[in-house]
Structure 1
Amino acid sequence: MNYNPDEPPRRGRPRRVSDDERRRTIVKAAHEAFVEQGFARTTTAIIAARARVSKRSIYEFFDDKTELFAAVIQGNRHLILDLPRPAEEELPMLDTLVRIFRLDIDEQAEREREAILNLIARESTQFPDLSDYLYENNILRAREELIEWLLVQARQGRMVVDDPLVHAGMLMDIVFGALLPRRRLANRSERVMRIDHIKKRLAIFLRGIRTEDQR
């Protein structure tokens, strides 16, 4: 068959999009919509338009908007907490906590984390049932994961843990309380200072519970 350069190229078959890819596109669109407009104002029609799919396509993967919201949080859990830790990890305790709470991420990831934390805090306050759904379905279990990690450290003799629930709560207050500012940080230097202050507070916490590093 001879090639004719004057003939327009024939179009091939349109690329088939996998179910996994469609689902990721929908979750990404939902994430953007929830952050910008909130849970109440975001509709499946808005999400479908952003994802360039039909509403029917959304319901092929998700029963309702609550399940879709949970998928958004689930997909961003890595920005909130990095647990469990590698079994062979032998870092100083402060360095381990820095990694657990993702205090070493770059600025772009830091902004993404700030957005997801604000989304969780805002929508959980306005919609308690939504918060209950996230906890009941193990989407949010930072406290439980921290408790499990603390108990492992105690069993290994690296930390004295009198009350793991209280200790986990203190760690969450130290870190997440600082990562949810009352005002938007103006520049990079303020973000660097915030992380530095969190690390100093974690160091004070560790001195108070007698870690192996200080023995």
Structure 2
Amino acid sequence: MSTSSIADPGQPPRRGRPRKLTDDAQKARILEAAMTAFITRGFARTTMADVAASAGMSKRDLYRHFPEKSALFGAVIRARRHLILGLPRPEGEDLPPLDMLCCIFRLDLDTREAEERDALLNLLARESLLFPELNALLYEGGIIRSRELLMDWIAAEIARGRLPDCDPGCLAGLLMDVVFGALLPRRKRKEKPDRQRQSEEIRTRLAIVLRGIGADPAT
């Protein structure tokens, strides 16, 4: 055996090549970096090079997964849309209407998730006004179908006799205005919101709407 093949115990072992990330792991890292970039810099000022650098990978790998920035933006929203609306619901779910709506509008999120949800809503509101083409991408591409999913749920609950007969589109729009109006106030907050108080206020708003259409919130 050659002496050159015996490792020197006084030297640290040589490191091999770093383990290559799987495609799923790469995508997850890209989406995390992109979410942060879009929120802090906005769509226009964020570059694909910024995202690649933040994700710690080459632009070639980034473009392999996402060929353009608008596609990356859509993927970021798609990956987190469950934070905005908890739909569709599991089959056979049998909660009172008020509790069901609280689940649908994600009043169950912890503080970190709620902060991410708020950031996502603000991002959508801001960028969709500045870039109408993004709005078209999100809605026409089916990435955001919040109102349609809520309408489907309302129609199913009416068919089950759990909600009074009403226009699902009008009720869906009303519920979204009621909830998102509380989550996205017109005046910018100076302090972080009191999450418990915010959830209680939204729950009260939802109960008022249910009573207004003739539904019992608790049964």
TM-score, with normalisation over the residues of structure 1? 0.93
Q: Is the contact made by 1:35 and 1:115 (CA closer than 8 Å) also made in structure 2? A: yes
- Provide the C-alpha distance between the structure 1 equivalents of 2:217 and 2:98, rounded to a whole number of angstroms: 9
Structure 1 segments unaligned to the other structure (5+ residues): none
Match of 2:34 among 25, 30, 33: 30
Deviation, 1:4, is 5.7
1:89-144 deviation line (CA, Å, top 9, x unaligned): 11111011000000121111111110000000000011111101101111110000
- Provide the C-alpha distance between the structure 2 equivalents of 1:51 and 1:167, rounded to a whole number of angstroms: 42
After TM superposition, list the pairs within 5 Å mapping 1:124-163 onto structure 2. Answer: 124-163=128-167
- Provide the C-alpha distance between the structure 2 equivalents of 1:66 and 1:129, rounded to a whole number of angstroms: 9
- Provide the C-alpha distance between the structure 2 equivalents of 1:59 and 1:25, rounded to a whole number of angstroms: 14
1:201 is aligned to 205
1:60-108 deviation line (CA, Å, top 9, x unaligned): 0112100000011001111101111111211111011000000121111
After TM superposition, list the pairs within 5 Å mapping 1:165-176 onto structure 2. Answer: 165-176=169-180
Q: Is the contact made by 1:207 and 1:214 (CA closer than 8 Å) also made in structure 2? A: no
Q: Is the contact made by 1:93 and 1:213 (CA closer than 8 Å) also made in structure 2? A: yes
RMSD: 1.8
Deviation, 1:10, is 2.8
Q: Which amino acid aligns with 1:186?
A: E
- Provide the C-alpha distance between the structure 2 equivalents of 1:133 and 1:74, rounded to a whole number of angstroms: 11
Q: Is the contact made by 1:33 and 1:47 (CA closer than 8 Å) also made in structure 2? A: yes
2:85 is aligned to 81
Aligned-pair identity in percent equals 50
1:184 is aligned to 189
Match of 2:107 among 103, 109, 116: 103
Partner SS for 1:37 = helix
Match of 1:53 among 32, 57, 62: 57
Structure 2 segments unaligned to the other structure (5+ residues): none
How many residues end up aligned between the 2 structures?
Answer: 214
| Structure 1 residues 186 and 213: CA distance shift in structure 2, 3 A | closer
Deviation, 1:2, is 7.8
Match of 1:65 among 69, 77, 102: 69
- Provide the C-alpha distance between the structure 1 equivalents of 2:190 and 2:156, rounded to a whole number of angstroms: 36
Moved over 4 A (4+): 1-4, 212-215
Q: Is the contact made by 2:164 and 2:214 (CA closer than 8 Å) also made in structure 1? A: yes
Q: Which amino acid aligns with 1:183?
A: K
1:166-188 deviation line (CA, Å, top 9, x unaligned): 00000100111111122125145
1:114 is aligned to 118
Deviation, 1:12, is 3.1
Q: Is the contact made by 1:73 and 1:139 (CA closer than 8 Å) also made in structure 2? A: yes
